[in-house]
Copies of this chain bind each other. A is one copy, B any other.
Amino acid sequence: MTKPLLRVGLIGSGFMGKAHAFAYGTAAKVFDLPFAVELHTLADANPELARTAAEALGFARATADWRAMVASPEIDVVHVTAPNALHKEMALAAIAAGKHVHCEKPLAPRAQDAREMAEAAEARGVKTQMGFNYLCNPMLALAREMIQAGELGEIRSYRGIHAEDYMTDASAPFSFRNDPVGGGVMADLGSHALATAEFLLGPIARVMGDAVTAIAERPDGQGGRRPVETDDVARAFLRFESGASGSIEASWIAMGRKMQHDVEVYGSKGALLFTQERFNELHFYSAEDPKGRRGFRCIEAGPDHPPYGRFCVAPGHQLGFNDLKAIEMAGFLDALAGRAPEPFSFRQGLRIQGLVETVLASAREERWRDA
């Protein structure tokens, strides 16, 4: 029995565009996908760029006209990995054309735009996904499974961090990341911290935010200086609907940190520690281990932690970042085939974006806000 064809249109060929293309390549081999995937067309800013990228990434066609591509009846699903400012327009156009859409985070600079996108997709009946790739890690799936199964008992407190250092250089010019609309670290990295928190512990009910501009001005690229208003480091206290309390922090000026996406979950019977810096490990403390023999144990990813076994039959060999994207893509295709719910839809993305805005509003107003 041949599989139905899925014709993919990709907009953008930067960091995430490449990652999507890699992910399809890997997913097609690693998973038993419900579709025969055809990398149909790659759209980029100009014909030359598009052609080169299409060739490199295995797309059959290239175009500089993303509008035509998303409207084409030959395309089934559109991947939006263009600059953030364009996400909304592109996604809405694709949705209007009845295409399923995978959009990199953030959906749009403002939650109100994100809401428009989520609602458009739902109204049109197309499926959507956002790129919250860290959540595709088997070790975080294990963490959630353990929490939900009660292996940690009642969850009492949580700490989440996402810190990197790509904005530490004060001499680097003002960029889209510093744009007062949609920029800032809570949006860029804090969104991951918030998504992971809800992935593991369920809905956040209230937040109290803190947002700090650590590098007050940056070169404007034209010989002058431009004041920065967006957050370089941002924090939030959290209350979960479950009753647990917690906190998150996001920083892009954490010198030396390349991928400190950390999680600590403390329950009445156990605890979990995780860091994306060593994301093939999950550290588990069980208060039920014998006295004198207790300690955080380092569980290494292996075939016991699906879908790791799809990638490698032996434990300890480790997945890489691009493998997480392949898992993400496979999840999306399962959703398209009706095999499973959307792993992280626009609706969920909207939720995160709303949380980001609520945290920032709370920080600005210096008061707790319902989430």
User: A15 contacts which of B25, B255, B312 (Cβ < 8 Å)?
Assistant: B312
A324-371 residues with Cβ-Cβ distance < 8 A to B are: 366-368
Per the bound structure, the CA–CA distance linking A367 and B56 in Å amounts to 54
Residue numbers in B under 8 Å from A188 (CB-CB):
none
**Nearest B residue to A366 by beta-carbon distance?**
B368
Residue numbers in B under 8 Å from A268 (CB-CB):
168, 170, 255
Per the bound structure, the CA–CA distance linking A259 and B298 in Å amounts to 13
Interface residues on A, range: 35 or more
A282-334 residues with Cβ-Cβ distance < 8 A to B are: 283-285, 287, 289, 291-300, 302, 304-305, 311-323
CB A178 to nearest CB in B, in angstroms, measures 16
Residue numbers in B under 8 Å from A56 (CB-CB):
29, 32
Which of the listed residues A15, A289, A295 has the most CB atoms from chain B within 10 Å of its own CB? A295
User: A314 contacts which of B15, B57, B313 (Cβ < 8 Å)?
Assistant: B15
Per the bound structure, the CA–CA distance linking A305 and B368 in Å amounts to 44
Number of copies: 4
Whether A35 sits at the interface, judged by CB under 8 Å, is: no
Residue numbers in B under 8 Å from A314 (CB-CB):
15, 166, 258
User: A25 contacts which of B25, B251, B255 (Cβ < 8 Å)?
Assistant: B25
User: A299 contacts which of B245, B287, B292 (Cβ < 8 Å)?
Assistant: B292
Whether A85 sits at the interface, judged by CB under 8 Å, is: no
**Nearest B residue to A251 by beta-carbon distance?**
B157
Q: Which of A65-73, A219-227, A269-277 contacts B (4 or more CB under 8 A)?
A: A269-277
A255→B267 contact, CB < 8 A: yes
CB A305 to nearest CB in B, in angstroms, measures 6
B320→A285 contact, CB < 8 A: no
Whether A174 sits at the interface, judged by CB under 8 Å, is: no
Residue numbers in B under 8 Å from A214 (CB-CB):
156-157, 244-245
Whether A266 sits at the interface, judged by CB under 8 Å, is: yes
Per the bound structure, the CA–CA distance linking A269 and B235 in Å amounts to 22
**Nearest B residue to A294 by beta-carbon distance?**
B299
Per the bound structure, the CA–CA distance linking A293 and B256 in Å amounts to 12
B233→A157 contact, CB < 8 A: yes
Residue numbers in B under 8 Å from A245 (CB-CB):
210, 212, 214, 233
A115-168 residues with Cβ-Cβ distance < 8 A to B are: 142, 152, 156-157, 159, 161, 164, 166, 168
Q: Which of A16-24, A87-95, A101-109, A193-201 contacts B (4 or more CB under 8 A)?
A: A16-24
CB A157 to nearest CB in B, in angstroms, measures 5
With A25-B26, A320-B323, A321-B312 known as contacts, the answer to whether A271 contacts B294 (CB < 8 A) is no
6 additional contacts, CB 8 Å, given A152-B255, A214-B245?
A: A15-B312, A22-B311, A29-B58, A156-B232, A259-B315, A279-B318
**Minimum-distance CB pairs A-B, first 8:** A258-B316, A320-B320, A256-B285, A259-B316, A297-B297, A292-B304, A317-B321, A295-B297
